Structure 1
Amino acid sequence: MTGIRVAAAGDIPEGEGIVVSRDQTGTEDDIALLKDEDGTVWALNDTCTHERASLADGWVEDGHVECPLHSSRFCLKNGQVDGLPATRDTVAHRVEVRDGEVYLFPGEQP
């Protein structure tokens, strides 16, 4: 699989995220593209596993995204919960940035 072009790397502000629709990705949930402070782009299922909030609206810092609703934290690398109240991990997807374009590999582990 060559991946799906989902955004330009410049479309994602550092420390923030954007949503890619499930209509574009073919996934069960929308996908949050999140950019860490070092410019690395990560992809997680967008919906927080605790309550229905968008992780793309959260805060990206120190390799984690914090949900804007109740501050659950998820690891950007693997989707593991690293802060309550969430208790279930989210799904991480492989992403590649090539020539300034972001390619998503839905369902593939990073």
Structure 2
Amino acid sequence: NQRLPNKLFKELKTMKYQVLFTALLIATAQAAHAQAPNESTPASTAASFASQFYGVDASVVDVTITKQDLYTATATTKAPGQAVCSLELAVVPDGANTNWALGSWACDKQPAS
């Protein structure tokens, strides 16, 4: 049996690990892509953004959808002691982790009474 020169053996071993690492990256990317997207609605998206902005739990955010069509929605959010905000939302392309994205955000200067 003829042994491979040490340098060539090390290079082949390194290449093997690179191939395994690349295969692992591809498998991970495919698994992430195969996961179902977050089935968000305009109301749940507005509540999520508002809860983060207000610093409160999403369950205390009151969301009213004032307009909605296939691709856009307008929501008004209210929370105790916080300003009323208006959000414009839009549908995002397939493959994203959510169904709706924030397009614009405007709030009153004073908290709601």
| Higher relative contact order (CA closer than 8 Å, sequence separation 6+) | 1
Give the TM-score normalised by structure 1.
0.28
Structure richer in strand, relative to its length:
1
Give the TM-score normalised by structure 2.
0.28
Which has the higher Rg, Structure 1 or Structure 2?
A: 2
Structure richer in helix, relative to its length:
2
